[in-house]
Structure formats: structure tokens, C-alpha cells
Amino acid sequence: MLKKLLFLTIAFFSLKANAQNNTDEQFIRDNYSKTEYDIPVRDGVKLHTIVYVPKDASNDKKYPFLMQRTCYSVAPYGKDTYPPRLGPSPALMRDKFIFVYQDVRGRYMSEGEWTNMTPHIAQKKGKTDVDEASDTYDTIEWLLKNIPSNNGRVGQWGISYPGFYTTASALSNHPALKASSPQAPISDFFFDDFHHNGAFTQGYYLTFPVFGIKPQQPGAASWFANDFIKPEPDGYTFNLKMGSLKNFDKYYSKNFFWQETIAHPNKDEFWQKRDILPHLKGLKHAFMTVGGWFDAEDLYGPLNTYKTIEKNNPSIYNTLVVGPFGHGRWSRETGHTLHNDIYFGDSIATFYQNNIEAKFFRHFLKESGDGKTGLPEAYLFDTGKKEWKTFDKWPAATAQKVKLYFHPNGKLDFSEPKESKSTSAYVSDPAKPVPYTANVKQMSGFTPFEYMSEDQRFAASRPDVLVFKTDVLQEDVTLGGEITALLKISSTGTDADFFVKLIDVYPDDEKNHEFMPDPKTVMAGYQQMVRSEIMRARFRNSFEKPEALVAGKMTDIKFRLQDVLHTFKKGHSIMIQVQSTAFPLFDRNPQKYVDNIYKAADSDFIQATQTIYHQAGAASMIEADVIKQ
């Protein structure tokens, strides 16, 4: 009966979504005129741009522009073909804007040379000094002069890579640009997407054809479609059999992005030039940065984009929105909002679209634009209490720093350890790495989506995973803000990775909710991952200049996990797990120092014993912001 109910529920929402798409597409045909342009920019390159203008636009009824620039195609191309939706949401589509979609240079129908994370040129000396900011400035100038019935205001948005283009385009500082919403924006490929703290996100190996093959000429087709690898029989087995990362060269020897990646294992000038964050200053218009707490691709990006803008531009309108979503999932309503097994409520995406996003764009593009939107500085979802919270600043002004200390026998506590000598250790074997998920199918996907909230009981039972847990909480504890892992370690190797997970342990009498994706899953005793991050020990002092560990020497490993807003409820427990592999999400560290792990030989990989200290004067801990309720 439950299976039948689940099938009917899925079928209902699929039919509802298809019906909505059909209704939206008909609305677009009835209410918008479509025109395609090749807009020339200052160096002579032409950027293919599709413009949808409301049919009732006139001198008496003018509309603002709402633009997205993307490397993922602005299809459908052709005068009589229309997309199933326009803009960030159905609400804004029906509210009517002049929607502008542009292929960035070197992608699909646009001319020019494309590079990943286009380096920003702060001081442009001539017409050949071009970047996303200059392309955007020139595009806006052309639109204002050539598209009639516009009101002289421009807004922009984009999710994921288009989120980066939104951020980089904002640096145009065109006076007509009034509102930008970078959503799940990439900000720095050394910490977003392809790396975490310098560790390679091996789970993304399938995506390299998208980013590392250049088209012969502009065109509508995806020129990289025949270059994808098929991992068989599953992602874990495929990657383990592949061995060292250098063996991927047999697939990617002509892939320019792969070759750039393996040539730059450290955060050298190549990656530094592609970090947009240092350039986010001197901004003059309004920002709303959006993210998802369970975004496996880009969580570093939105949090650090917001914080950097806030620090460098204190006088502008700058807000942050983070919901209980995976990557970009706030852009599509699913009815029941789940991530993996966790149910957060109904129609949360629609609430965001109608009550937050639409308010922002309407205010700055159609209304007074004076900044009095009625929205808070930060609109964030508490993933434990499962409700929206508002803040005047983020991290919250009321947050207090607390320390959760590791103790012997797997204890986790707010008090410091008193033992004069106390350690926990495990043997990390690259030949038998800890899987990052219990779902084999997830390992074979294009990108890992679900692991960010997954049940960690599969890992807790492994001998190469350390587990520290509090007693059952006697009151709610809300972690709200920044989290830092402060580890005291030693290793028998000369390099090591440390993957730290913050986990909410459910009570043994927890009941399943009514929307369980798999009714066989038991929520009683569930170990929900709330946050995790990896740190490569070689980068402990500098991401630019790596250093080997001294075998056997106690060493400090300090690194940030991404922010969190999660209430661990009374009756739950807080758990920390520590391990050295999360495969194949992240590549394996050889555990013997080599200059470039991308070029390590299979023979370089060794077993190593990793020791975590939890004693007086050498205490390992998690430092977190706690918000008192």
C-alpha cells in the first residue's frame, strides 16, 4: 500500500509539473515576443542574445530588463520556439519583465574564446582587455539603446556557473544595473566544485568534457556530447580500478581544463586569477545572494560572496538567503520539500520565489528601489527546527562561540579533556577507502547531490572512522554561524587528509515521516549529516606553498566547515565523525608526500596510521557559533 501511495504521489506531482510547464509555455507564447541578436562588444566579438519582450510593452508601459548570462546554452534557438518557462520563477514571468538570455563568449552561438572562471581585469587598458564585466557593460549599453519600451533598469540572476557570471558581471558597475542575485555562485574553483581546500573533487570527473573541450565554431549543438565517460559497473569500483589520478589522462589527454587542473595542484597564480572574491569592492547596486544548505556543489560560493560583499561594501543593500535545498533546487517546486530522506515541509521553493526573490527584483526594478524591501539582512532556514528564521546580520550578532571537545571512548562534550595522555587512532588504507555514500547509484551520477544529508550509520561502523558523540541533549542546541575544526593530529605518513562530519543523531524512538522516499529506511537512530568538509594536510599553512608532514610529529590542522543553521533538538545527540577518505567524492591522498598528487604513481599510495589527540594541552575540538533561543 505504501509503495502504491508513493507511486501515485510521484505520478501526481509529475503530471502537475508537466501541466504547469504546458501552461507556462502557452503564457509565454501569448504574452511575449521573441527576438535573437548578435550583440557586438568592444573587441568586435558578437555575443548571441535572446530577448523576450512583453507584447503589451509601449511608451506608456515600460518594463525593466532581467538578464541571465550562461555557458550552458540559451536554447531553444529559433524564432518560433519557446522555452517552458522564463526568468527565475513563474511569479516573475507573469509579472512581466524584458527577459534577456546570453551565451557567454566562446559558448554555443557566441563568438570568442572561452575560459573557465574568466579572470577579472581590474584595470583595463584597451579594447582587447575584456572580461565578463566588460561584456556585460557593452551588452547593457546595446540593450538600452536598441530594445524599445524599457524603463532603464537592469537586473540579473543565475544559478551555479551562471551564478558566477552574475557576480562577475556585477563588476561592470553599469549605472543601469540595479539588482544582482548570484545563486549558488561559484566563486573560486579551489574551494568550490572541483576542489575542497585543495582536495580534488573526483566525483566531478564526468563533467570535464563540458568544461574542457572547445567548439570548432559557434553552434546550437553540445559539441562535447560524445566525450563522456561511462563508469562501470559503479562509480566506486570504476574509480578504485582507475588507480592514480594520472590514469585519467587516457580519457582527458586533449581536455584543456583537465590539463590545466593537473598542471596546477596548488593555489598558484592560475587559480588566484580565477578567484572572483578579491574583486568584490566598489559595488554600487543591490545584491541578494542565494544558496542551499545541502548544496553539494556550491555552498562555499554563496556564503563567501555574501560575506565579502558585506565586508567590502558596507553601505550597499546586501542580503543572504539559504534554504533547505540541494543545488539550485529552490528554482523548481516539488510540493513536498525533501533532501534525501529528510522532509522539511511543503512548497518551500514557492515561498522563497514569491515572498523573497520576487520582492527583491520588483522593488529594485519596478518600484522605488530605495532599499526598503521589507526583507531582512539574512533569511535562513533552520534545518533542525524546519522553519525560516530572519537575522539583522550573519553570522548573528547574538551568536556565542562554543567548543565541542573530543574525549576518550568516543565522547563529545563542551568541557575540556583532563587526561594527561589520550588519543584515538585508525589505519587509513587508500586501497580500501571509506565510501562517501551508501548509495552505489549516487557514485555513478554526473555530480553528487544527496550525500549532504545522508544517514552516516554505514560509516560509523568502520574501523577507519572515528566517532565522537554527546550524551542525549537535555535542551535544544542551535548551531548558527561558522564552524571550525581544530584538530591535533600525527601521522605515520608524510601527508594526510581529514574529512570531518557534523551529524545529528535522532532518538531511538523517532518515527518515519509520511513522505519517506524509501519506507524501508528507519529514521530511529538516523545519523543525519548536517555539514562536512575535507582538509588536505599539506595545505595546513598555505594553499600556495604545500608542506609535508613530519611523520610522528603532533601537528595542528585547522579548517573551516561551511556555515550552518541547525537546531539539534532535545532528545537528539551531536556526533562528529573523522576519517581520511570519502571516496570517490574526493581523490585519495597517497599519504606519502609527492609534489603533485595528480601525477602520483600507484606505488606512491601507502597505509598510514592517523592519530587524533584529545588530552590536556592538546585537545581536538569543533568550534561553532551557538544561538541561544
How far is the C-alpha of 522 from the C-alpha of 72, rounded, in Å?
A: 39
pLDDT at 8: 32
Phi, psi dihedral angles at 443 (to 5 degrees) = -70, -20
Neighbours of 62 (CB within 10 A): 16
CA–CA distance, 298 with 447 (Å, rounded to integer) = 12
pLDDT in tens, 206-255: 999 999 999 999 999 999 999 999 999 999 999 999 999 999 999 999 99
Give CA–CA dist 140/171, Å, rounded. 13
Q: How confident is the model at residue 6 (pLDDT cuts 50, 70, 90)?
A: very low
pLDDT at 401: 97
Banded pLDDT at 445 (limits 50, 70, 90):
confident
State the virtual CA torsion across 6, 12, 18, 24 in degrees, nearest 10: -130
With cut-offs at 50, 70 and 90, classify the pLDDT of residue 372: very high
Verify cis geometry, omega within 30 degrees of 0, for the bond prior to 584: yes
pLDDT at 14 > cutoff 50: no
pLDDT tens, position by position, 482-529: 999 999 999 999 999 999 999 999 999 999 999 999 999 999 999 999
Average pLDDT over residues 303-321: 98
- How far is residue 466's CA from residue 557's CA, in Å, rounded to a whole number? 16
Q: Which of 3-7, 215-219, 550-554 has the lowest mean pLDDT?
A: 3-7
Q: Pull the grid cell for residue 311.
A: 565586508
What is the rounded CA–CA span in Å between residue 27 and residue 353? 18
DSSP 118-145: ----SS--STT---HHHHHHHHHHHHHH
Helix (H) or strand (E) holding 30, with range, is helix 2-31
- Distance, in Å, from the CA atom of 170 to the CA atom of 249, rounded to the nearest integer, reads 37
Strands (E), 470-554: 477-491, 497-505, 527-536
CA distances from 537 to 122, 499, 540, 554 (A): 33, 11, 5, 12
Per-residue pLDDT of 98-140, as tens digits, reads 999 999 999 999 999 999 999 999 999 999 999 999 999 999 9
Q: Side chain identity at 169, as an amino acid letter?
A: S
Q: CA 105, CA 131: separation in Å to the nearest integer?
A: 9
Q: Which residues make Cβ contacts (< 8 Å) with residue 446, sequence separation at least 6? A: 206, 207
What pLDDT score does 13 carry?
Answer: 34
For 440-445, what is the mean pLDDT? 84
Does the pLDDT at position 538 exceed 60? yes
| Residue among 527, 498, 453, 521 at smallest CA distance from 611 | 498
Report helix, strand and coil shares of the chain as percent, to nearest 5. 25, 30, 45
According to DSSP, the β-strands at 400-407 and 387-391 are unpaired
Query: Of the given ranges (325-329, 366-370, 441-445), which has the lowest mean pLDDT?
Result: 441-445
pLDDT band at residue 21 using 50, 70 and 90 as cut-offs = low
Give residue 9's pLDDT. Answer: 33
Determine the CATH number of domain 399-627. 2.60.120.260
Q: What is the pLDDT averaged over residues 344-361?
A: 98
Query: Which of 13-27, 236-250, 556-570 has the weakest average pLDDT?
Result: 13-27
Please give the grid coordinates belonging to residue 535. 582538509
Mean pLDDT, the chain, integer: 95
CA-only gyration radius of the chain, Å: 25
Return the number of other C-beta atoms located less than 10 Å from residue 305's C-beta: 31
What is the model's pTM?
0.96
Q: Which three cell numbers stand for residue 56?
A: 503589451
Tell me the pLDDT band of 16, cut-offs 50, 70 and 90: very low
For residue 384, what are the contacts with CB-CB under 8 A and spacing of at least 6? 476, 478, 504, 530, 566, 567, 568, 569
Given a cut of 70, whether residue 188 has pLDDT beyond it is yes
DSSP for 394-420, written as a single string: SS-TT-EEEEEEEEGGGEEESSPP--S
| Residues whose CB falls within 8 Å of the CB of residue 395, separated by 6 or more in sequence, listed in order | 480, 481, 482, 563, 625
Give 21 or 64, the one with higher predicted confidence: 64
pLDDT at 19: 52
Domain segments of the chain as ranges: 25-188+274-301+308-317, 399-627
Fold of 25-188+274-301+308-317: Rossmann fold (3.40.50)
265 prior amide bond cis, ω within 30: no
